[in-house]
Every structure is written in structure tokens, then in C-alpha cells.
């Protein structure tokens, strides 16, 4: 019996020592409505997609909470993230960026295991829509933790996007765990905003050599959705733009990261 428990103990130690691959998903969901079929909900397609692929963490943009728009689509006002959390079994969180249509509009997060969910407002020096980033401290099966942030930057003014980037990066550098941040950033790889990001932050698409559009169509669109990770703490295993998923005017963006072991 003693040998059995010793064996179990060492198996646990070995499993914790192994690096766990971290599956990351970010997706602008167009408030859960099919843009090609107004009034057609994409909720169950999204839930099934998440259940099938089992990412550790998910960031969603353009999320409604208790809006009249959701009532038009679903027949009643719904808390989209609460409903999605129940459907998928993930821990969900809604980070409101602004009041909208008698409810809220902003960022959604899902994590298999997460804590310290919170929302940080982002600057808008040029005016325009309020913006925010939602954060969660996610825990892996290996018991390692990292911060995961999801955001949707200003679509109107470069001045806002630059200020919002500065705010996010300053905040991320002061967190006490490794960081991944993602979202619909509304700038392209040839932009001033992209080049503003320090070199230790790696963009998964560029690192993989894949530069597919994430918005619009495969042929005519733009790459504006990203997964950024701290290369001092993570390495890239896989990156994909899932352009076969037709439930929004954006495509889901997927990456697998591996946390580096401390030396």
C-alpha cells in the first residue's frame, strides 16, 4: 500500500513538472448575431465550437448583456456570458466597456479555471466610444497561473488606439504572473500601433509566418485580431485563423502556447 501511494505521489510530481500547452481563442462575435442573416442567433454554434475545441481561455469581443438588441434576437434580454458559461461549463465574465441599448456592451472571458476577474477602462483622449480590457488570472492543470486579457480597441481614432496600447502594456508589465493579451485591435501589421509594441511581446501570427486576414473575407479584408504573448514566459506551438467558421464578420483566432519553465 505504501508503495502504491509513493507511486501516485511521484506521478503527480512528474505531471506537474511537465509544461502544459495552453490553448487560446479570441473571437469578435458580432454580438451573437449572424451578420448575413439578421435576427439569426449564433449562440449555440459558438457554444458547440468552444466545447469541441476546449481552449483553456477564450476572449470574446462585441458582447451584449441585457440589451434590447439581445431581446430582438432571443425573445428576451439575456446576459450572454452568463448563458454561455452555463452552456459550456466554463467560468464566464462580462467586462462592460459602455452602456448600450438599456444594457451593457463590451468584453467576454471564459476560463476553465480562473479567478481575479476584473475590468480596466482604457483612455479615449480623442473621444469616441468607451473601451476596456477584461482580465482573468487563469490556472492550468499544472497549477501554474497566468493573466489573460481580452480587449477591443477604438475603431475611429489612432490617438485612442495608441493611448489604449500604452495603458494595456503598462498594466501588463506590472502583473506578477506571465501575461497573454488578445483581441480585436483595429490596426494592421503595417501600422504605427503595431510597431509601438515592445519586442518581447510576440504576435502569434507573425511568429508562425501566417498573415491571413481575420476580418472581412479571406480575399478582401484585414488582419486586425491578434494574440500577443510575453516571449520571456511563453513559446508558440501553433497558430491558426479559423476562416471556415462563418458566424461573424471576423474569424476566430487560435493559438497554442507553452509556458517556459523557470531556470
Do 135 and 116 form a contact (C-beta atoms < 8 A)?
yes
In a domain, 12, yes or no: no
In a domain, 80, yes or no: yes
**Domain interval for residue 57:** 19-259
Q: What is the CATH number of the domain that holds 168?
A: 3.60.10.10
Residue 9 main-chain phi, psi, to 5 deg: -60, -45
In a domain, 44, yes or no: yes
177, 59, 81, 40: CA torsion to nearest 10: 180
In a domain, 11, yes or no: no
Question: Please, which residues have CB within 8 angstroms of residue 224's CB and are 6 or more apart in sequence?
Answer: 184, 185, 186, 187, 188, 214, 215
Domain count, the chain: 1
For residue 219, what pLDDT is reported?
Answer: 82
Between β-strands 21-28 and 57-65, what pairing exists: parallel, antiparallel or unpaired? parallel
Residue 83 main-chain phi, psi, to 5 deg: -65, -40
- Model pLDDT for residues 86-110, shown as the tens digit of each residue: 999 999 999 999 999 999 999 999 9
| Over residues 33-51, mean pLDDT | 95
Query: Which residues on neighbouring strands pair with residue 179, listed in sequence order?
Result: 147
In a domain, 146, yes or no: yes
| Over residues 30-42, mean pLDDT | 94
In a domain, 1, yes or no: no
Question: Please, which residues have CB within 8 angstroms of residue 188's CB and are 6 or more apart in sequence?
Answer: 194, 222, 223, 224
Quickly list DSSP for 142-153.
Answer: TS-EEEEEEEE-
- Model pLDDT for residues 180-231, shown as the tens digit of each residue: 999 999 999 999 999 999 999 999 999 999 999 999 987 889 999 999 999 9
- Model pLDDT for residues 54-80, shown as the tens digit of each residue: 999 999 999 999 999 999 999 999 999
For residue 13, what pLDDT is reported?
Answer: 40
- Residue 159 has a CB neighbour count (10 Å cut-off) of 15
What's the pTM?
0.92
In a domain, 6, yes or no: no
- Residue 72 has a CB neighbour count (10 Å cut-off) of 13
In a domain, 10, yes or no: no
Amino acid at each position: 500500500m505504501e508503495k502504491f501511494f509513493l507511486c501516485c505521489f511521484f506521478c503527480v510530481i512528474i505531471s506537474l513538472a511537465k509544461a502544459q500547452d495552453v490553448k487560446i481563442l479570441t473571437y469578435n462575435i458580432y454580438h451573437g448575431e449572424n451578420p448575413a442573416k439578421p435576427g439569426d442567433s449564433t449562440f449555440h454554434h459558438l457554444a458547440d465550437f468552444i466545447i469541441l475545441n476546449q481552449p483553456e481561455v477564450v476572449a470574446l469581443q462585441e458582447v451584449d448583456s441585457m440589451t434590447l438588441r439581445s431581446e430582438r434576437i432571443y425573445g428576451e434580454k439575456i446576459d450572454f456570458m452568463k448563458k454561455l458559461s452555463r452552456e459550456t461549463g466554463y467560468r464566464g465574465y462580462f467586462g462592460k466597456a459602455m452602456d448600450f441599448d438599456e444594457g451593457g456592451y463590451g468584453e467576454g472571458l471564459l476560463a476553465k479555471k480562473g479567478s481575479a476577474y476584473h475590468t480596466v477602462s482604457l483612455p479615449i483622449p480623442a473621444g469616441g466610444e468607451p473601451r476596456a480590457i477584461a482580465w482573468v488570472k487563469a490556472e492550468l492543470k499544472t497549477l501554474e497561473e497566468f493573466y489573460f486579457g481580452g480587449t477591443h480597441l477604438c475603431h475611429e481614432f489612432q490617438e485612442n488606439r495608441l493611448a489604449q496600447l500604452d495603458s494595456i502594456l503598462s498594466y501588463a508589465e506590472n502583473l506578477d504572473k506571465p501575461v497573454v493579451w488578445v483581441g480585436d485591435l483595429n490596426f494592421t501589421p503595417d501600422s504605427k500601433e503595431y510597431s509601438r509594441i515592445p519586442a518581447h511581446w510576440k504576435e502569434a501570427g507573425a511568429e508562425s509566418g501566417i498573415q491571413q486576414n481575420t476580418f472581412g473575407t479571406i480575399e478582401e479584408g484585414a488582419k486586425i485580431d491578434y494574440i500577443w504573448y510575453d516571449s520571456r514566459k511563453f513559446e508558440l506551438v501553433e497558430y491558426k485563423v479559423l476562416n471556415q467558421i462563418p458566424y461573424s464578420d471576423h474569424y476566430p483566432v487560435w493559438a497554442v502556447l507553452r509556458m517556459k519553465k523557470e531556470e
